[in-house]
Chain A
Amino acid sequence: MTRDAILPLESYRLVQYAVPIPCYVCEAENTYDAEYCRNCLAPMALAHQANSQKVHPRMLAVIGGSAVGKTVYLGMLMDMLSRNPEKMQLLARGAFSITLQQMTMAALARCTFPEKTANEPDRWNWVHCQIRWPKQRIPMELIVPDMAGEALLEEVDHPHSYRIISSFLKKCSGAMLLIDTVKLKEGNRDQDYFTMKLVSYLAELSDDPKKSWSRRPLALVFTKADQCEDCVLDPCGYAKSHASGLWQHCQERFAIHQFFAAGVAGSCVWRESRTRGRVRVPLRIEPFGIVEPFVWLLEQIKAHGPARK
């Protein structure tokens, strides 16, 4: 006896293509099976995951120049928060969210720094995570991409050359701006100028005073601070003396900002490698000041940041 069964027509599978899925970053419409947004190249997994949740994720930007340490900072931050549930627990959502942490920690374990982040947005690592506090019932969902410094520079110099950057920064609830302490200490003013460009770009992103960056929290983190004791002791004073342009911009344009100092590698040396050329090698891993800027930013977002609808 043949049992009846109801099977959808093969052609019915095409119906799914009739319902577009908007990208979570730029809101451009894409097909349901698209891996990357056709407009901004953000992973569509973010949209699928966000649609399945009641709490919509907030977006957090970690920006800075090339080789300032964004990848190392983010990877170390994810690793530390995922292993320290007492104060704040981080849970990765989606397998792709663990790639950055895995890559960073694997490189540091080999006494190397992670390779340079490519400029192409479809090769960036994205983190979608859930932050839980022990005494708070409602978690916070966050999306944090690891963007390439050159892409940021290109977008700042020529707006809309990287659509994903402009779309993402417009919707961010807060940002972390990384500054290379070593270059500042050497007297290289490029870091000061670049960060001034970035904050100016942020300030001009939105015309609406209610949604402008002047009301969003901005954490300014001096990276590689293990090589500068003055910076660790007084980051704000260090900024005032060594990055005066940036300090002045922040005073005038960003109501909610704070300076921090952070470091990951205790000491670094140069090594000549036949297969990799002249590479910088961390002799030991001594992270400090990694979590504090992030905690401060989240607290400011909860208190002041605009809620995503």
Chain B
Amino acid sequence: MDRIDQAIFTSAETDRGSGYQIAAASPGAGEADLRELAAWGPSHDSLIDPTAGAVSVNFHPLPSGAYCVSRTTPSGWEYSGRGGVRVYTQCLIVPRGVLARFANNPFAVMRAATASGLVRQYDALPEVLEPFGLAGRAAAVDAALLARLSANPGPEWMATLVQAALDSVSVAVAGGPPAEQLIAGLVNCLPPECRTEFSFSTGLKFSSRRPFRVVALSSHPEELRRVERLYNVAVLRLKDNPPAEFAPIESWPRLIHRVLKSGRVSFLAGRLSRRDLKISSEDLSLWGLQLLEELDASSMANDVYEAEPAANGSEPAGAEEPARAEARGGPLARPVERPALPAPTPPRPEPQSVEPEGPEADRRQAHAPHRKFDKEVTAPTVSKRRPDCPSKHLDPGSPAVLGKLERLDDLVFEAISGKTDALDELKTLWLAVRGELDQRLVAESREQYLRYALSVWSELQGPDGTRNPARAAQSLEVLCVLFDQA
């Protein structure tokens, strides 16, 4: 296992001198890397928030090819008697392979190291810091985080942030949700292969000597104006409307906007988890276009089943807006279908073949994929397994119960995707619906939802065979609601 070296940059009196310096380091840390850490190291009054408990997570590359993931906190008082808090930075020199295991997400590395007790403040600085190994992995995308950011600041701002990050040398964000969440969300919106190109700091004051690509700004008006006067820095004030100059015009920001607005974060997660190509930021536009088409195709395929005409020509009861269908957040491009219910006639048997015919065939991709992504592209087809949704077995003369079951379907899908409010509503609705259904239909509903949960679990497998435990926990929680209340 690759070892992670450490270094501490803070104000101390050492044999070398007094003041802010590399006060302690692992033996394996290279000289060039230590000098780089000293150059990037924050000194006096560098924290935006100097109060106790403030934390800044920072990330930047090092000359050796490794990366520095550091945490800056206030720690005691300045030793020289001039007042002010001492700024303490613990730097982890993370090899490329270790970072890749955590999907190139520095926040995941820092969480793992902190949870393991490896990141801490020393009252008495040791002479030598021991390197350590860090086990574990991380999913490519934190779906829960993106879901939160979809609510605040919203898909428009997230897409604007991605566009600005791609276009600008430096991006400074002010206002809105906590900077750590916002910047973590930005990282999650990028493919893992591109994340290492975006250095960031979540809580250090802007300085030209620390050329982070993404920084947070305090809300102090003078500081905002000062940074705005600097060139090559794009300042985004999240309390205002998204600026027109960073409107999401490129494909990747547009993809992020579509994904967040439609709630199909699982689509993004699946794509970012499965890819093993050498993607760089220059390839993002191409790949963004490709994924947009796949997203469109999967949405249209969902609409196809929604809009299947009934035998008697009546409007199918299951027809709904494409947005609602997309909002289910079903598995990767394979939404769970709910076939239309014919009004006066008994339910017709569902065909097992899934290839759309006739006009639906025209809705496939109009052109061949780019050769770079050719191997990864699969023709957008609907799921070969169509779970037998309970709603179709109901007496069509009870539209109220029909509506409740449809709502139940939506809530189960959304809850498994990670929406906590959907889970809360599901608990209430399940109690009400269960009382109105006979036992056979209850059992059948449970069976179909269980099948769906298992299908989501089996499809969200990373390239190395790992799965996101958070998604499993969500599915399990939903199943507990459906089964424990029997």
Contacts and interface: CB of A to CB of B under 8 A. Distances in A.
Interface of A: 31, 33-36, 38, 41, 65-67, 112-123, 148-150, 153-154, 157-158, 161, 190, 194, 270, 273, 276-280
Interface residues of B, number: 30
23 contacts: A34-B231, A36-B208, A38-B208, A41-B209, A65-B17, A66-B19, A67-B19, A67-B81, A67-B82, A112-B83, A113-B83, A117-B44, A118-B44, A119-B43, A120-B209, A148-B43, A150-B17, A161-B39, A276-B83, A277-B83, A278-B77, A279-B81, A279-B83
Interface of B: 16-21, 35, 38-39, 41, 43-46, 76-78, 80-85, 207-210, 229-231
Nearest to A114: B82
Among the interface residues A31, A65, A115, which one has the most CB atoms of the partner chain B within 10 A?
A: A115
Contacts of B207: 120, 122-123
A150 B77 contact: no
A115 B84 contact: yes
A270 B80 CA distance: 11
Contacts of B83: 112-113, 115, 273, 276-277, 279
A67 B20 contact: no
B43 A153 contact: no
A31 B231 contact: yes
A113 B44 contact: no
Given A122-B209, A154-B38, A280 B46 contact: no
Nearest to A30: B231
Contacts of A35: 229-230
A31 B232 CA distance: 12
Contacts of B230: 35-36
B17 to A, nearest CB: 5
A115 B17 contact: no
B17 A113 contact: no
Contacts of B208: 36, 38, 41, 120, 122
Contact of A194 (B17, B35, B78, B209): B17
Nearest to B230: A35
Contact of B78 (A114, A116, A120): A116
A116 B38 contact: no
A309 B46 CA distance: 38
Contacts of A190: 17-18
A277 B78 CA distance: 8
Contacts of A34: 231
Looking at chain B's contact residues, the main secondary structure is loop
Given A35-B230, A278-B77, A279-B82, A115 B19 contact: no
Given A121-B209, A161-B39, A113 B19 contact: no
Given A31-B231, A120-B43, A278-B77, A153 B21 contact: yes
Nearest to A123: B207
Nearest to B43: A119
Nearest to A194: B17
Contacts of A153: 16-17, 19, 21
Given A118-B43, A190-B17, 15 more contacts: A38-B208, A67-B18, A67-B80, A113-B83, A114-B82, A115-B83, A119-B20, A120-B208, A122-B208, A149-B18, A150-B20, A150-B43, A161-B39, A270-B81, A277-B83
Contacts of A115: 44-45, 82-84
A158 to B, nearest CB: 6
Contacts of B231: 31, 33-34
Among the interface residues B18, B20, B45, B230, which one has the most CB atoms of the partner chain A within 10 A?
A: B18
Given A118-B44, A278-B77, A150 B21 contact: yes
A118 B21 CA distance: 12
A170 B380 CA distance: 67
B52 to A, nearest CB: 11
A280 B80 CA distance: 8
A33 B210 CA distance: 21
A279 B78 CA distance: 9
Among the interface residues B38, B81, B207, which one has the most CB atoms of the partner chain A within 10 A?
A: B81
A31 to B, nearest CB: 7
Given A41-B208, A115-B84, A66 B46 contact: no
Among the interface residues B20, B210, B231, which one has the most CB atoms of the partner chain A within 10 A?
A: B20
Contacts of A277: 76-78, 83-85
